[in-house]
Amino acid sequence: MVPKVHRFFQDTNFDPATTHAMCEAYVNACRALPDSGQPEMTREIIAKKIIQAAKDGERDPTKMCERALRASSTAAMSAPKGHLAVPAGAAPK
């Protein structure tokens, strides 16, 4: 079951079916992330890529999810060295 409209998609101008697909894609993308406490920025990137996919005409939640996950992994790999989170209790190398 997909929860009510996620805050990232509240102010978008899509029909209810598309908004539902976007929320489903977002939930599935977040579930696919590692449980290592993903930063809020990663979730925002996922939401923005899902919105862009919908603007581009994509309506399949699986494809939106895949597109967002590809973008978030690319963004994580290109983040400046000092911007990666260090787990609590771990010393940076």
The predicted pLDDT at position 58 comes to 97
The predicted pLDDT at position 12 comes to 84
Closest to 49 measured CA to CA, from 28, 30, 26, 32: 26
- Whats the size of the chain, residue-wise? 93
What digits encode the pLDDT tens for the residues 56-75?
999 999 999 999 999 877 76
Model-wide pTM > 0.85: no
Sign of CA dihedral 40, 16, 29, 52: negative
Enumerate residue ranges in the chain where pLDDT < 50: 1-3, 80-93
The predicted pLDDT at position 67 comes to 94
